[in-house]
Amino acid sequence: MPEGIIVKGIMGFYYVKTEEGVYECKPRGLFRKDSIVPLPGDRVVISVINKDDKIGHIVEILPRKIQLIRPSVSNINQIVTVISVKSPLPDLMLLDKLLVTAKKKGIEVAIIVNKIDLDEKDQHKIFTDSYKVTGFRVMSLCSLKGIGFEKLEDVLAGKITVFAGQSGVGKSTILNRIMDSYIMETGNISNKNDRGKHTTRHAELIELKTGGFVVDTPGFSSFELSDIDKNELKTYYPEFEPYVDRCKFGGCSHINEPKCGVKDALERGQLDLGRYERYVELYKTLENKERRRYS
């Protein structure tokens, strides 16, 4: 029986890409009983009902490596987080929360700074510099003029990548340009809300010419960390790692403790102050949440 990957699911039908093409499949009754819902990204085994019409049944879902809730996809290897220099201005707190979440799930991350054509004062350098110390890959892009895409295509090749970030930063424009065609709807924020577009959109894996898939997502304006303990937060900041050996106290949170390697590095200008301040803010938010839960 052929194996394949679910590229999208609509109204109970799943489109499974196999070596012999894309099959339209219904899940066998079995899954419904176990309340397992197939997801885009799932590797599945199908039984072929009609080879010419490409109709089949999903008979087995292979074990999931990773599952995201929003968007609802499985087995992704990479998140590309997009910010723009301007319109909208970057919400770096939102970006950091996404980076923390990806680290926690063990998913690779790259950052795109888009709309560099709107950059008057080389602001994008401020963002790229402050995130270069994190070790995450940072790329500057102008998706309108097609600048910076060679590097991006390298980063995407062979992987399943989700694009995420605020509304209006240019995620869909970037994907349309990569695909060389108009696949995703783009536009300004107010138009979209009028049409209520986001409510009906399904996550879909779009196959790249270079191998691999990309998934567009609707932008969001807020995002909460979940399942993260305040004491584990620091482990998702890769740039702290070279300095934690110099902290006097084991389990140092790098906030109030004396003789802290991270704070020393910060004073020497080896770490980015904004990133650190947002770390402290996130830590306090998690601390308050935990306090409320235990009182």
Ligand X SMILES: Nc1nc2c(ncn2[C@@H]2O[C@H](COP(=O)(O)OP(=O)(O)OP(=O)(O)O)[C@@H](O)[C@H]2O)c(=O)[nH]1
Residues of the shown chain interacting with ligand X in the complex, contacts defined by CB under 6 A: 114-115, 117-118, 142-144, 167-173, 186-188, 192, 218-219
Binding partner at 262 among ligand X, Zn ion, Mg ion, none, C-beta below 5 to 8 Å by kind: Zn ion
User: Whose structure tokens read 């986001």?
Assistant: 198
| Shortest spacing between CB 157 and Zn ion, in angstroms | 38
| Shortest spacing between CB 79 and ligand X, in angstroms | 14
Q: Which is nearer to Mg ion, 140 or 166 (CB)?
A: 166
Binding partner at 252 among Mg ion, Zn ion, ligand X, none, C-beta below 5 to 8 Å by kind: Zn ion
CA distances from 161 to 135, 183, 212, 214 (A): 18, 16, 8, 5
Binding partner at 169 among Mg ion, Zn ion, ligand X, none, C-beta below 5 to 8 Å by kind: ligand X
Binding partner at 254 among Mg ion, Zn ion, ligand X, none, C-beta below 5 to 8 Å by kind: Zn ion
* Nearest residue to 88 (alpha-carbon basis) of 178, 171, 166, 187: 166
The pattern of x and - marking residues 240 through 259 that bind Zn ion according to CB under 5 A reads -------x----x-x-----
Q: Tell which positions 136-175 bind Mg ion, by CB under 5 A.
A: 171-172
| Shortest spacing between CB 133 and Zn ion, in angstroms | 17
Q: Which is nearer to ligand X, 87 or 270 (CB)?
A: 87
Amino acid present at 108: E
Q: For residues 246 and 257, give the distance between their C-alpha atoms in angstroms, rounded to a whole number.
A: 12
Counting contacts by CB under 5 A, is residue 112 touching Zn ion?
no
Q: For residues 18 and 287, give the distance between their C-alpha atoms in angstroms, rounded to a whole number.
A: 47
In 39-66, which positions are buried (b, 16+ CB within 10 angstroms) versus exposed (e)? bbbbbbbbeeeeeeebebbbebbeeeee
Quick check: 186 and 176 in contact, CB under 8 A? yes
Question: Residues interacting with Mg ion, by CB under 5 A?
Answer: 171-172
